[in-house]
């Protein structure tokens, strides 16, 4: 199946050929004709599925078919949770639009950098704006743009937008949009808050659901290596050398752990950098660029910062710390095996985190083979949880209701969190182990 039967214009087909996108991915196949037809959409598709082109292609085609006047009015608004995702979507949209005769202007705006160049960039208007919510509101306050002409709204990674607490910003933005418009929601997961927002905003939406296929086509081999938590950095170094991994994305639980692990790897002579929400935008962009150009071998990242990070041909992802949920696990391992390439996802599992990993497996409906590496066989045994300790930790871990008895799942999560906390603390006395956040 090729792109040509999907109803796309010759200019877009030319751009696709140049990008060497030969065949549409499942989400592109399902979404493009429906979006071209003007339908609202609720799509569960994550980064790696080709979702960016799935909404950019029809959106650009509709804009090019009806050129806007001068100054340009913002006719499409794409809201995203992170700066990296904004930059990536802007790049893809510009590449796809490069042969449009009406020369569409695509502006990308995000926080963490000076607002002035972005205000200058919006002079004369823009056809498409890709934005993180906070910066968009700042720009609206500066009257740098007007959203009254928006014809299509895209919420990309809608679950993450709500997870990161952007509800208020979204409300402030939504009231600035005309009520007659096309709405497209893309979300890796569809938790209740996303469904509620979708029910409120979408008009008879088409549903596109491609998550299982994404994992199937992307052929990710999963492996769990049993190792004591105190020996994980050594094991990581050993594996990078032994297995000749060219590039590795390593996930940890906290910003602090990202710094510590990257530092230890650097001291061992590996080109490694941390990647988390507290780094400056310039630093984050540089790390990504160096990683893409293979000047960096290892990036040690937190979940929030790595979300939406698109590095093609990334052969290995390592869960140095286990993710908190099965959903996060899927996001993490989806960083490898992108768009049909093969990939390897390795999880380090200790006695304290075995039970938590079993939960992740159960949620996914898979059993991940356990292995041990010679010289790194684990010696630790699982810590027994004191009843009072487990209860209070479980409450904290789940945001649980006071007085409610923790379930078995809560206890396992609490044990995993305790273990992660303990690991981070054994690395240093610094107690800055907060979870990562982004703007
Ligand atoms: P996305 O899910 O939009 O982040 O895309 C994931 C990766 O797949 C990106 O590196 C895209 O360049 C690539 N990609 C998207 N669509 C296609 C396609 N039809 N053929 C080949 N690669 C694609």
Distance 266 CA to ligand 1 centre (A): 32
Residue 221 has pLDDT above 90, yes or no: no
Asked if residue 252 and residue 281 are part of one domain, the reply reads yes
Asked if residue 187 and residue 71 are part of one domain, the reply reads yes
Q: Among 55-64, 200-209, 374-383, whose mean pLDDT is lowest?
A: 374-383
Distance 54 CA to ligand 1 centre (A): 9
The encoded tokens of residue 390 equal 């487990």
The CA-based angle 293-294-295, given to 5 degrees, is 90
Asked if residue 264 and residue 149 are part of one domain, the reply reads no
Distance 49 CA to ligand 1 centre (A): 7
Q: Mean per-residue pLDDT for 122-139?
A: 96
Asked if residue 396 and residue 251 are part of one domain, the reply reads yes
CA distances from 391 to 96, 128, 318, 351, 410 (A): 53, 49, 30, 20, 8
52 within some domain: yes
Note the Cα 341 to chain centre separation in Å. Answer: 18
Q: How far is it, in rounded angstroms, from Cα 394 to Cα 388? A: 10
Asked if residue 238 and residue 205 are part of one domain, the reply reads no
What pLDDT score was predicted for residue 81? 93
Nearest atom, ligand 1, residue 339 CA: 8
Domain assignment of residue 158, given as a range: 4-210
Distance 48 CA to ligand 1 centre (A): 6
Residue 429 has pLDDT above 80, yes or no: no
436 within some domain: no
Asked if residue 329 and residue 237 are part of one domain, the reply reads yes
Nearest atom, ligand 1, residue 24 CA: 19
Q: Atom 11 of ligand 1 has which residue's CA nearest to it?
A: 50
Q: Mean per-residue pLDDT for 256-277?
A: 95
Asked if residue 349 and residue 308 are part of one domain, the reply reads yes
pLDDT band at 398 (very low <50, low <70, confident <90, very high): very low
Strands 41-44 and 128-131: unpaired
Domain boundary among 145, 180, 210: 210
Distance 105 CA to ligand 1 centre (A): 22
439 within some domain: no
Residue 382 has pLDDT above 90, yes or no: no
What pLDDT score was predicted for residue 20? 86
Q: Atom 7 of ligand 1 has which residue's CA nearest to it?
A: 48
In the block, which residue shows the tokens 């050398």?
241
What pLDDT score was predicted for residue 277? 80
Evaluate if pTM is beyond 0.85: no
24 lines ligand 1 (CB under 6 A): yes
Domain boundary among 165, 184, 210: 210
pLDDT band at 22 (very low <50, low <70, confident <90, very high): confident
Q: Atom 1 of ligand 1 has which residue's CA nearest to it?
A: 50
Asked if residue 200 and residue 302 are part of one domain, the reply reads no
358 within some domain: yes
Q: Among 114-123, 178-187, 285-294, whose mean pLDDT is lowest?
A: 285-294
What pLDDT score was predicted for residue 311? 67
Residue 212 has pLDDT above 80, yes or no: no
Nearest atom, ligand 1, residue 23 CA: 19
**Residue 140 is part of a domain; what is its CATH number?**
3.40.50.300
In whole numbers, what is the pLDDT of the chain averaged over residues? 83
What pLDDT score was predicted for residue 340? 57
Distance 340 CA to ligand 1 centre (A): 9
396 within some domain: yes
Nearest atom, ligand 1, residue 3 CA: 19
What pLDDT score was predicted for residue 417? 53
pLDDT band at 404 (very low <50, low <70, confident <90, very high): very low
Asked if residue 224 and residue 178 are part of one domain, the reply reads no
Q: Mean per-residue pLDDT for 36-43?
A: 96
Distance 375 CA to ligand 1 centre (A): 40
Q: How many domains does the chain divide into? A: 2
Residue 388 has pLDDT above 80, yes or no: no
Asked if residue 293 and residue 196 are part of one domain, the reply reads no
Q: Atom 18 of ligand 1 has which residue's CA nearest to it?
A: 21
What pLDDT score was predicted for residue 423? 43
């Amino acid at each position: 199946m090729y792109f040509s039967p999907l109803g796309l214009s010759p200019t877009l087909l030319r751009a696709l050929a140049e990008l060497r996108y030969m065949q549409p991915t499942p989400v592109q196949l399902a979404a493009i004709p429906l979006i071209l037809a003007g339908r609202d959409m609720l799509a569960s598709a994550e980064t790696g599925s080709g979702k960016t082109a799935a909404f950019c292609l029809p959106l650009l085609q509709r804009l090019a078919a009806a050129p806007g006047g001068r100054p340009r009015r913002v006719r499409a608004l794409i809201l995203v949770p992170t700066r990296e995702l904004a930059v990536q979507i802007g790049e893809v949209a510009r590449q796809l639009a490069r042969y449009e005769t009406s020369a569409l202007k695509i502006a990308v705006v995000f926080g963490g950098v000076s607002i002035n160049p972005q205000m200058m960039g919006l002079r004369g208007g823009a056809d498409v704006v890709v934005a993180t919510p906070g910066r968009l509101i700042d720009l609206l306050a500066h009257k740098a743009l007007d959203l009254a002409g928006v014809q299509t709204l895209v919420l990309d990674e809608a679950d993450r937008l709500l997870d990161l607490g952007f509800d208020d910003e979204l409300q402030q933005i939504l009231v600035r949009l005309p009520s007659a418009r096309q709405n497209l929601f893309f979300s890796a997961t569809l938790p209740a808050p996303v469904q509620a927002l979708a029910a409120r905003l979408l008009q008879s939406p088409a549903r596109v659901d491609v998550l299982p296929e994404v994992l199937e086509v992307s052929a990710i081999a999963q492996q769990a290596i049993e190792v004591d938590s105190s020996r994980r950095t050594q094991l990581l170094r050993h594996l990078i050398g032994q297995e000749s991994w060219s590039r590795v994305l390593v996930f940890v639980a906290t910003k602090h752990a990202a710094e510590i692990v990257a530092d230890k790897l650097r001291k061992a002579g590996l080109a490694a950098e941390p990647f988390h929400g507290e780094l400056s935008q310039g630093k984050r962009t540089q790390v990504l660029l160096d990683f893409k150009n293979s000047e960096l071998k290892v990036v040690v990242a937190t979940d929030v910062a790595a979300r939406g990070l698109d590095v093609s041909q990334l052969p290995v992802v390592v869960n140095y710390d286990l993710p908190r949920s099965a959903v996060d696990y899927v996001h993490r391992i989806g960083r490898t095996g992108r768009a049909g390439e093969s990939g390897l996802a390795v999880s380090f599992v200790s006695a304290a985190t075995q039970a938590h990993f079993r939960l992740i497996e159960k949620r996914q409906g898979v059993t991940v083979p356990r292995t041990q590496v010679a010289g790194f066989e684990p010696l630790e045994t699982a810590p027994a949880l004191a009843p009072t300790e487990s209860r209070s930790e479980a409450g904290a871990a789940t945001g649980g209701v006071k007085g409610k008895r923790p379930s078995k799942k809560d206890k396992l999560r609490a044990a995993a969190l305790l273990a992660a906390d303990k690991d981070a603390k054994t690395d240093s006395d610094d107690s800055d182990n907060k979870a990562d956040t982004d703007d």
